[in-house]
Amino acid sequence: MNPLKIVVSHFIPSIMIIAIFFVLVHNSAQVPTLFWSMTSLLFYISSVIAIGVSWHYNRSRFIFILLPIITLFWAMTTWSQVQTRVLVELVPLIIPLHLMLFLFLKERGLFSLWGSLKTLFIIIEIAVVYYVINDAPEILTYLHIELFQAHLTGWTALGDLALLTSVVFFFLFLLFSFLHFQIIYHTAFTGMFLLLMIGMHFYDQELYMALAFFGVTLTIFGILLKESYRLAFYDELTALPGRRALMEDMAKLGRKYSLAMVDIDHFKKFNDSYGHDTGDDVLKMVASILSNVEGGGKAYRYGGEEFTVLFSSKSVDEALRSMDRLRQDIEFAPFTVRNGKNKKKILKPRKVSINISGGVVEKEGKDKDPLAVMKRADNALYKAKRSGRNKVVKG
């Protein structure tokens, strides 16, 4: 898939939540009063549920994100108007740093040393904000910096410094998303950041602010669902769909399709010579090339060094041409080995050639089910192995 399409597809849930928010706000008069009266309760209840689910799935970063947001919402709805106005200028300077920090920190558990340190950090963070607002008002003078002309910022309650910080971090989140580094998290965190800033913008309208913050918890639920799906259906090492996803997709196939079984040549020998870390790099390299299969194909990691490629509504000859192009791409792809299995003996980096063999078949009338087609493709793969390897043969 086109890289831009991948990023956009991950942004769709956040875009939908933000769009629904503005539709509800724009048509607030038509929305039942009961709904608006429940927005604060919805935020609190959904936050508690999100914390419980995050704990269950060992995703403590969301707990450490939600706890300060819950505290912030409570303060915004119970403190005096003067205090909340100061929060609107101070918090937008902290929120993006907080999100960025917990985005990059690894999962270390909630009741571990790292979890205790993170909890301590949040307590100190909240205490510092409380101290600045209530006991060190002189610090707040630094927040009232005029960076833009009044007609450019008059539309929002955010101060100039807070607005500048928000714009800078928004583009940073976008940049990381387009770099495809933890794309699920970066796109979702971008949406969460926007929703939090929208909530701060509506600080003097509790119902709208609660709705925006409720959108944050919905975004977290979306990430957890995506993570659950990814863990169940995708291979962690290669990022390709795994065997479970293959079985699901094979059950949906029509009457005409082709299937290829692929195996990395001499992979066990390669592992023994260069070590499992280098072997993992080989698997990732092969998977990345297979994922770009043309002709309507879709690649899966079947297990070990074996991969499967499905071609829906394609003939065996069409699939064979696509697979042979992939074989050549892998053969001529640069791959450098930087060390051997013996760590005491440092070897000079050298380039090696990675080869694959494959068998391609098309569904026939005699095939009772997709597993029978896969069996024939497996036989064709072994035929390619026996006839010299580094080739794709038709079964």
Provide mean pLDDT across the span 259-284: 89
> Which pLDDT tens digit goes with each residue over 203-255?
989 999 999 999 999 999 999 888 888 888 999 899 899 999 998 998 888 88
> Which pLDDT tens digit goes with each residue over 330-386?
999 888 887 655 555 555 677 888 999 999 999 988 888 888 999 999 999 999 999
Same domain as 306, residue 173: no
How many domains does the structure of the chain reveal?
2
| Residues in Cβ contact with 162 at an 8 Å cutoff, skipping those fewer than 6 apart | 88, 89, 90, 92, 93, 143
238: in domain:
no
Same domain as 55, residue 34: yes
Residue 125: band (very low, low, confident or very high) from pLDDT cuts 50, 70, 90: very high
Same domain as 358, residue 299: yes
Are 265 and 286 a contacting pair, CB within 8 Å?
A: no
Catalytic residue check, 318: no
- Tokens representing 222? 């979306």
> Which pLDDT tens digit goes with each residue over 42-94?
999 999 999 999 998 888 999 999 999 999 999 999 998 888 888 888 888 88
224: in domain:
yes
Same domain as 229, residue 248: no
Has this prediction a pTM greater than 0.85? Answer: no
Same domain as 123, residue 177: yes
Domain span including residue 33: 3-233
> Which pLDDT tens digit goes with each residue over 199-215?
998 998 999 999 999 99
User: b vs e for 269-298, b when ≥16 Cβ sit within 10 Å of the residue's Cβ?
Assistant: ebbeebbeebbebbbebbbebbbebebebb
Which one-letter DSSP state was computed for residue 106? P
Q: For the residues of 124-188, what is the DSSP string, one character each?
A: HHHHHHHHHHHH-GGGGGGG----S-HHHHTT-SS-HHHHHHHHHHHHHHHHHHHTTSSHHHHHH
390: left (phi over 0), alpha (psi -120 to 50) or beta: left
Model confidence at 319: pLDDT above 70 = yes
227: in domain:
yes
Model confidence at 310: pLDDT above 60 = yes
∠ CA 18-22-28 to the nearest 5 degrees? 140
255: in domain:
yes
Give me the catalytic one of 89, 294, 305, 306.
Answer: 305
Same domain as 357, residue 208: no
- Tokens representing 340? 């051997």
**Higher pLDDT among residues 182 and 321, named by residue:** 321
Domain boundary among 206, 233, 260: 233
Domain boundary among 185, 205, 233: 233
